[in-house]
Each structure stands twice: as structure tokens, then as C-alpha cells.
Structure 1
Amino acid sequence: MSTAPPGRLSLHGISKRYPTGTLAVDQVSLSIAPGEVHAIVGENGAGKSTVMKMLYGLEQPSTGQIRLYGRPVRWRTPREAIAAGMGLVPQHVTLVPSFTVADNVVLGQEPRRGPLLDARVAVEQVAETARRFRLPLDPRTPVSRLSLGEQQAVGLLKALHQGARILMLDEPTAVLAPQQAAALMEALRRYADDGLAVILITHRISEIREVSDRFTVLRGGRVAGSAATRDVGEAEIAAMVVGRTVAPRRARPTPAPSSGAPVLSVRDVSAADSAGRQTLEDLTLEIAGGEILGVAGVEGNGQGLLADVLAGLTRAERGQVLVDGVPLRGQGDAGIRAARAAGVAALPEDRLHDGVAPDMSITENAIANRHAEPPLVRRGLPGWFGAMDLGWAARETARLLRDFGVVAASPEVPIRSLSGGNMQKVVLAREIALAPRLLIASQPTRGVDIGACESLHERLEALRDSGAAVLLISADLDELLALSDRIVVMSQGRLVGHFAAAQVDARRLGLYMTGVRHDPAARADLAAAFTLDEDRLP
């Protein structure tokens, strides 16, 4: 059995085998020293989350040993891990929106006056923790009023307030604007310099390079490599993760104005979701065939509602949506059928809940958008469907899995058994199989590893090059800049910037995402001008 060098926290030959026989983690050894930021990186299904769960008491190792300060430990619950100094900040921080910052931070460890919460003491304690760790949060502010970046900071504050000496963060910048992500990385570096140990799980190699001292690569549940970050470049780290060289992406030139009719036209559209949480206000944009229009914005600023309107789930209250000049009407099932008939396909943001039926087989999910159409279904008597051609379904699924490089034990296993990257490939394969005129791709590579990202990006580019229009909604600005021809920024349901992707960078996009800059005349129809440099705006 391999051993890890001494450190504050170390894993020695840790393995985790589930009752189903799946070996999720196999003989992993690593150490995290005081004052160190240690990044753990790997493809989906590599074992990163399982390692984190074992370090937080959510799972128990099958074999091997976890040591803290050189002593063997075995945490049966997260409460025991927290008491030992472990802190976890998940990707999506779970907070009570109606509670204040202080209420959320002390939840479960409330200071009391008799049987009641001592609110004054709670505010004082949380304010002191925030001051000590230089987190600019007002303990009295309701969480519902905070941005996503501030909510992430509340999750961090909660872990620190619980006494964490070893911080674990799982994809902490996935929903943050560049400036917010940079502030978080600076804070992590500062905490490490003050003596805390930080474990950072991320898919973003730029973050590994920016903030970590060392990194460990997991592949197939085993350690595939480990190094001091300063000794290797981004290309080398990517190659370690996927086991091969990853080709660098080439930036596209500034698009020439389109002289043809747009595939998608959104004209002065206003809408609201059913809960009134997101709105669209007088939105105008167009996408030409053979073009990717990227949409940037801090989450919750109308991007999801825009996708729902285009897919037929939500009706526009004002304005008009046209695909190849044909207006889309209806909402719900009728709207979805109208959008499908017009050639609209959609890759939803939440693939597990909105993109697949998790307990159904890969085959059933792969042909779900053709369940009532030939050649899957033979026509019967008028008004009746004939028998389903199961042989065709099996052949078509096999073709899609082969063409998209999906790794699966069998097409008949439940789709929930796939890794996130492979599940996303199935959803994209299903949508592209219908040769859509417009694809709405919402967060297509969220939580997807480097190798799968590369494959998904190639498919989006191939669809664009075939003449389709693609609306790409992504929180990953590197993805937007690499794939898009043009990029718009949304804030509070409005367009606040319109850019040629080749002439803008992540820093500038972030200024518009966070409201520092705003172009009041922003439109994104094909004839619209691009937003001027900031110093030339009114």
C-alpha cells in the first residue's frame, strides 16, 4: 500500500466499493498540509466527489485510513467531521432565503437565551467571524437580497464560523462572474497563508494554476498524477486529466454582418416566469444560420426564462418570437410541440431533472423525442399508432452512442448510471439527431470534465457549421469566448451589452454582468452595432 507524506490531513490507500460492486475510489493516497491550497481534479466519475464525501463523514472508506494530525480518524456523520475541523462549501450553497445571514450561519449551532435564539449574540458572533476572515457581509441582511456571489460567501462564512481548519470547496466558482470568482480565489489564498488547509475541487485548470500550491489528478478512481502547480503548465494538467493531449481552441474571427434572413428573431419580448422571480424586458436579438450567439450573465437574470420562452414552455407577454419567419405560439405542451415543429431543439440546464427520465433506460431516453414518429412507430389505423419498432430503436441508440463516444455498460441500463458527461452527450445526441434549425444550449458543460467538454464543443461547432443557429447560455466565460461568434450580456432581464466575441475578454464581460457597466441601447439583431468601449459609453 502506498503512503502519503505527513501533513495535517492525509489519506492512505483509501478505497470505496459500493454494495453494487462499483469501485468508486481505489487506493488513493494524498496529503494536504497546513497553509496549502490543494486542488483535486479529474473527469466525471473519477472519484473526486466520493473522496470529498469520505472526508466529510457522508461515506465510509471500505479500506485504507484517513489521518488527521497523524492520528487515524473515522467520521460517521458530518457533525463529527465538523467537530474535527472539516468544513464543506458545496457548489450550490443551501440557504434559507427568508433568514438573515446571521440566522443561516448559526443554524444548528444557535446561541440561546433559555429556550430561544439569542439574536443579538448571533449577530455579534457572525459579525466578528466575518471581520476576522475579511468577508464583507452584513449579518442582518436577508439572504434573499444577496447575489449568488454573496450567497457563496455566506456558505464560506458558515464553514469558517463552525471552526473549520480544513476547507473543502466543490466547484465554488461555477455560478460566479469573473470578478466574484477572483475575489473568492484571493480569499482562499489568504486563508491558506494564515494557516488553514484548503481542498479545491474544480474542472477549471485556470483556477488550479491561479490559486493552488499542489494538485492531484484522479482518473478511474485512482491517483493518475500529482505535482507542484508551479512546475507544470495548463496543457500538461489537461493531458494528465484526460490521458492524452488536448488541442488548444482557436478563436473565431469577428463575424461579418449577415445579409440573409435570421433563423431566430426575438423582437421586443417581455415575459415573466410563473413565480415572478425572473423577467424579460423588451428583449431584441437575432441569430443567423451558421452562428453561435453566446449569452453571459450572473445566474437568475433572465437567461433561463429566455430559454423557456424559445422552447415553448413559457409564453411571451409582449413581442414576438419567430423561427425562419414563422411565429411561435402557445406554451406548455402545445408550445413545445409548436417549437419542435419549427425545428427548435433544447439542451436544458438541469439535465437530470429536465433532460432525462433518470430511471428509464439509455435507449428510452435517446429516442424520447421520436416516440410517436416513423420510423420508430409504424402507422396503424387512422388516429392510432402502430407497433413500435424496437429493433430500430436499438440500432439508432447504438449509432448515437457510437457517434458521440458515450461510455455505457449497456444501452438498457438506467441513464442515471452514466457520468454527467456521458449523460449530457446522450441528451445532445438526441436533440441533434433531428437536425434542428435552432438549438438552445443551456449550460451544456456544467459539471462536465475536460475530455467530455472537448467532445461537446466539437458537436456544437459542427451543428453551427451545418447551417443551424445556436443560442449558447453559459456561466463559463471561457466557453462563451471560445465558441461564440457574438456575445450578449443579460442583467435583470435586459440586454446590457452586445459584443463580437473576438473583441471582448472575460474581465470586460464581468463588468457588465455585475452591473458596473451598462449599455442602455444594447440590442442584438443582426444589424445592431456592438457596444462601445466603456470609456466611450455615457
Structure 2
Amino acid sequence: MLLQMTGITKRYGSLVANDAVDFSLEEGEVHALVGENGAGKSTLMRILYGEERPTSGSIAVQGKEMSFASPSDAIAAGIGMVHQHFMLFPSFTVAENIMIGREPKAGITFDRKAAAEQVRALSEKFGMPVNPWQKIADCPVGIQQRVEILKVLGQGAKIVILDEPTGALTPLEVEWLLKAIKDLSKQGISFILISHKLNEVMETADRITVLRDGKVTGTVKASETDADRLSRLMVGRELAKQERDRLEPGGAVLALERVTLAGAKGAKPLLSDITFEVREGEIVGIAGISGNGQSELIQAISGLIAVSEGRISINGKDVTGLSPREVREAGFAHIPEDRYMWGAAKDETVADNGMMGHLGSFSRRGLLRRGTIRETVGKWVTQYKVKTASLDTKVGHLSGGNMQKLIVAREMAHGTSFVIAAEPTRGVDVGAMEIIHDALLKRRADRGAILLVSSELTEILKLSDRILVMYEGKISGELKAEEATEEKISLLMAGGSAHETA
């Protein structure tokens, strides 16, 4: 056995994050670690990578018991970790990032040419092509991830921990990465894959360990299980079947007319002649490969950036050029695409994050009503099953999925007629996804209008009444729910025509 973690327990005061967890890994194996947000997956891997010390339990690598006081100790033992949020220097080149701490020297100076040659050889050895001279800031997300993997492999890692590796990748990048993981495992590299995407886990892993509330609820071979059984092990119950009832949509709540957003001088427009509407009782999905104008569209509607031409209206009111606050007052709620950048203040409490945007409801004569805040946010925490030690816990200490549930609860509580839900379930588990999807479908049933922007085609297909696909800042096609398929959407995402598959 290459790795054996035995009886790992981690306590934070009265909170037990890991409770006598056993986990093993064989040479050349892909072992997935799944569970709900807050189940203890990240804590267990931080312990393995030397970022945390266990309260009790032992770790053995190749039969030798180890104690890791820091990531340096783990790296020395052949363990590397690629975090969900990459730890790269954007202004450095690919070679500089991969060779950092191991820089070849020409005399007393850094030999960049030698570094580039070493990186080129490393990329050929592991079948992960990169340009050593390219700056990280100019690399797409998929290439940045290759750089992170090559960095840990270059450090001699035989065990690679991948934390939510496909969260920000395009479908083609996901396909490439999963194949690369399988190919590298054949070379003897072992992977621990932390993921919420059960279809990817089933496709890639040899074995799967499920955590729930810090305990192992099962370790199974991927070939002997299915997604439904894994879901039951994760949440402890059957997931409800969610149905999108047929509704006759009403009048337009959001309307865009020939909206254009100029690019940099001499560059293509970021948005070009965008015209569509979202009606009462309707979810309109926006699909597209990242970087094709979805983010700019969201920011334009919400008042974060001013459009160059065109008109945007909400509930019949022209909101073009208005401030984000004025757009909100027109009847708009916003689940942002990046919860860390736009959705939360990580150093503030759960209660304080919950009241954001609700100050009018939670204040009297300019003074905050703290009792009302705690009572109301406490109800949201219970309703959306947000796992937190207390309302005074800093939001940065919550798992990503629990932070997301809090943001969704806060935004849906506005009760507005229009909601933008941007990447609403990115990086969340199946239980949290069920809660968030239920909230969106309920708002639709209450005759609300929802613009769903998601990189997950399964989510788009499941929730949307109509689907618009963006390509290079334009709407490349529109599909009704009953005619939409992943193949048709993928073609439109690449600039083709949905009729090519007909």
C-alpha cells in the first residue's frame, strides 16, 4: 500500500471535522474523495499535505510512519497538492512558476533558458504540453492547471491531490484532464481526487471514499457502484426527483435591446447586438465557453459596467446606465458567479454577510436591529441547511458550498421578480445543489423570471425553459428546452449551428 491514513481525527474545540477516518491509496490508483460541503474532505487532505496536524491518528507512506509539520515535509515524502484556487504568479512565465524554488543557475543568476528546457522535457515526459515562455496571466485556466500539475510532478510527487480540478474548466478541458489523469496513473502516479461531480468521479476513479459529517460512510470500487448510491452515502437519504412543471410564461420582466459593449481600442466588442427577454415564470439559460461574454453580460445587466449602446429594462423600467443600487431597486437579485470576489466578505460573520443588501429591512432610524438580523439570518441558515458553528463564524471559515447556500438564501429572500443566478452550484455537493435548484424552481413557480448563467450543461438542460448560447460576445443560437441536447449546445458554443446535428 502506497499510503495509509489510519484513525485520523481532527477537533477544533467541540467541532469534530474528521472522526477516526481511514483512507488508503495504492500505486497508480485514482482514489476519489466525495461528500457534502463541510463533510471533512478538505480537512483530511490538509492534514495529509502538512497544512494541519491531526488530533490523533497516523499516516504511513510506503509502510513508513510519517509526521508532516508543513507542506515541505509532505513534498519531501512525495506528496503534492493542486488547490482549487491556483497558487501561481500571474506575472511570471510558465517555466518560472514550475521551477520556483528549484531554479537552475548560470553563475549566480537564474538561467531561464535552462529552466525552459527542463520544463519542456518535463511536459514531454508526462504528456502535458505547455509553452515555457508564456506568462501565466496569458494562459487559459486549463493550461494554468497543467502548470500546477507539472510543478508538483517536477518536485517528485508520486501522490497528487487534486481539489475540485474541473470546477472552472470548459467541457473540452475537462475531457482532456480526465484522460491525462488516467494516462499519468498508468505511469505509476497516484491521484486523490476531491470532486462533487459524480459523473466525472465514476468515469475516472478506481475507488471512491465517501465522507459524511466527518466519518467514512463507505469505500467502494467505481465499477461496483453508481451515482445514486454515492448520493445516498453522501446525504444519508434518497434525493428528491426535481421536475420543471410546464408553465405558460407571462410578460417580459428583463428585456435587452441591441446591447453592445465596446472592447479595448481596435479589439472586437465584448458584447455585440444582444437582444433577448426573460418572461414571468421562465428560466432562460445562458450557455457558453468561459470568456465569450457571459461575465460582461451579467455585469452590464447588474449595473457594474456601462454598455456602449442599447437598452436594458427590468419590469418595464429603463435601467441602462443606472448604478447597481438603482438596478436592485427596480426589482433585481443577483447570485454572483464568483462567491469569493462578488458574493461575500470573508472576514465578516455569517450574520453580517446575510444582512448585506437588506439594510433597509434590518434598521430603524439608522440603527441596525441586531436581534432581527440574527433571527432572520438564523432562519435562512436552517432553511438552506448552512453548516456553521454559529452566526458569529467568519464566512471565510465556511466550506465553499455552505458559503454559496448562504448567498443564495440572502438573494432569494429579496423576493424580487427577476434573479440572475450565475454559476449557482459551482463547486457544491449534490445535497446543496438540490436545495439551490429547489429555490430557483420555486421562484419560477411563483412567476419570477430567472436568468441562469452556468458552465454546467446538465444544469442548463435540467432547469431552463429556453437556452441561449453565447459565442464571441454574440448570441449564436437559441433552443427550446424540448429540442436542446448537449451536442447541439456544444456546437453553438464552438460557433457552429444547432442544425448540424439535426
Please indicate, yes or no, whether the TM-score normalized by the shorter chain is above 0.5.
yes
- Give deviations 1:450-498, integer Å, cap 9, x for gaps: 1111011000011111111111122222222211122223344333333
Mean alpha-carbon deviation: is it higher for 319-328 or for 262-271? Answer: 262-271
- CA distance in structure 2 between the aligned counterparts of 1:66 and 1:144, rounded to whole angstroms: 37
Tell me if 1:162 matches 2:155. yes
Alignment of 1:197-346 (within 5 A): 197-250=190-243, 260-271=250-261, 279-331=270-322, 335-346=323-334
Alignment of 1:73-152 (within 5 A): 73-152=66-145
Provide closer, same or farther for how the CA distance between residues 136 and 511 of structure 1 changes in structure 2, counting only shifts above 3 A: farther
Name the aligned partner's letter for residue 495 of structure 2: H
Contact kept in structure 1, 2:38 and 2:387, CA below 8 Å: no
- CA distance in structure 2 between the aligned counterparts of 1:387 and 1:310, rounded to whole angstroms: 31
1:272, CA displacement in angstroms? Answer: 6.1
2:455 maps to 475
Contact kept in structure 1, 2:489 and 2:498, CA below 8 Å: no
Name the aligned partner's letter for residue 284 of structure 1: T
- CA distance in structure 2 between the aligned counterparts of 1:211 and 1:340, rounded to whole angstroms: 43
- CA distance in structure 1 between the aligned counterparts of 2:123 and 2:369, rounded to whole angstroms: 62
Name the aligned partner's letter for residue 300 of structure 1: G
- Give deviations 1:427-465, integer Å, cap 9, x for gaps: 222222222111011221122221111011000011111
1:394, CA displacement in angstroms? Answer: 4.3
Tell me if 1:422 matches 2:402. yes
Provide closer, same or farther for how the CA distance between residues 74 and 403 of structure 1 changes in structure 2, counting only shifts above 3 A: closer
Tell me if 1:16 matches 2:10. yes
1:523 maps to none
- CA distance in structure 2 between the aligned counterparts of 1:109 and 1:509, rounded to whole angstroms: 44
Mean alpha-carbon deviation: is it higher for 145-154 or for 435-444? Answer: 145-154
Provide closer, same or farther for how the CA distance between residues 193 and 501 of structure 1 changes in structure 2, counting only shifts above 3 A: farther
Provide closer, same or farther for how the CA distance between residues 144 and 397 of structure 1 changes in structure 2, counting only shifts above 3 A: closer
1:251, CA displacement in angstroms? Answer: 6.9
Provide closer, same or farther for how the CA distance between residues 151 and 392 of structure 1 changes in structure 2, counting only shifts above 3 A: closer
1:264, CA displacement in angstroms? Answer: 0.8
The CA RMSD measured in Å over matched residues stands at 2.7
Provide closer, same or farther for how the CA distance between residues 146 and 453 of structure 1 changes in structure 2, counting only shifts above 3 A: same
Contact kept in structure 2, 1:9 and 1:66, CA below 8 Å: yes
Tell me if 1:32 matches 2:52. no
Name the aligned partner's letter for residue 362 of structure 1: V
- Give deviations 1:244-293, integer Å, cap 9, x for gaps: 1123445777x98x6x5321112222236999999323322221111111
Say which SS state the counterpart of residue 475 (structure 1) adopts.
coil
Name the aligned partner's letter for residue 109 of structure 1: R
Tell me if 1:171 matches 2:164. yes
1:456 maps to 436
- Give deviations 1:61-107, integer Å, cap 9, x for gaps: 22111111000112222222222211222223233334332222212
Say which SS state the counterpart of residue 237 (structure 2) adopts.
coil
Name the aligned partner's letter for residue 533 of structure 1: H
Among 180, 187, 190, which residue is 1:194 paired with?
187
Name the aligned partner's letter for residue 318 of structure 1: E
Mean alpha-carbon deviation: is it higher for 198-207 or for 87-96? Answer: 87-96
1:326, CA displacement in angstroms? Answer: 1.3
Say which SS state the counterpart of residue 431 (structure 2) adopts.
helix
- CA distance in structure 1 between the aligned counterparts of 2:501 and 2:229, rounded to whole angstroms: 39
- Give deviations 1:96-125, integer Å, cap 9, x for gaps: 334332222212211111121222221221
Provide closer, same or farther for how the CA distance between residues 120 and 96 of structure 1 changes in structure 2, counting only shifts above 3 A: same
1:532 maps to 498
- CA distance in structure 1 between the aligned counterparts of 2:347 and 2:201, rounded to whole angstroms: 35
Name the aligned partner's letter for residue 300 of structure 2: V
1:360, CA displacement in angstroms? Answer: 4.0
- Give deviations 1:484-538, integer Å, cap 9, x for gaps: 122223344333333234433335434444xxx315xxxxxxxxxxx532368xx
Contact kept in structure 2, 1:95 and 1:104, CA below 8 Å: yes
Name the aligned partner's letter for residue 281 of structure 2: G
Provide closer, same or farther for how the CA distance between residues 277 and 72 of structure 1 changes in structure 2, counting only shifts above 3 A: farther
- CA distance in structure 2 between the aligned counterparts of 1:353 and 1:71, rounded to whole angstroms: 42
Say which SS state the counterpart of residue 26 (structure 1) adopts.
strand
1:416, CA displacement in angstroms? Answer: 4.3
1:409, CA displacement in angstroms? Answer: 4.3
1:241, CA displacement in angstroms? Answer: 0.7
Say which SS state the counterpart of residue 156 (structure 1) adopts.
helix
Provide closer, same or farther for how the CA distance between residues 492 and 239 of structure 1 changes in structure 2, counting only shifts above 3 A: same
TM-score (norm 2): 0.92
1:128, CA displacement in angstroms? Answer: 1.3
2:358 maps to 370
Contact kept in structure 2, 1:57 and 1:76, CA below 8 Å: yes
- CA distance in structure 2 between the aligned counterparts of 1:391 and 1:138, rounded to whole angstroms: 57
Mean alpha-carbon deviation: is it higher for 155-164 or for 437-446? Answer: 155-164
1:372, CA displacement in angstroms? Answer: 2.4
- CA distance in structure 2 between the aligned counterparts of 1:533 and 1:415, rounded to whole angstroms: 46
Contact kept in structure 2, 1:330 and 1:338, CA below 8 Å: no
- CA distance in structure 2 between the aligned counterparts of 1:483 and 1:232, rounded to whole angstroms: 27
Say which SS state the counterpart of residue 328 (structure 2) adopts.
helix
- CA distance in structure 2 between the aligned counterparts of 1:534 and 1:102, rounded to whole angstroms: 41
- CA distance in structure 1 between the aligned counterparts of 2:116 and 2:369, rounded to whole angstroms: 65
Contact kept in structure 2, 1:177 and 1:510, CA below 8 Å: no
Q: Unaligned 5+ residue runs, structure 2?
A: none
Q: Unaligned 5+ residue runs, structure 1?
A: 1-6, 379-384, 520-530
Tell me if 1:52 matches 2:42. no
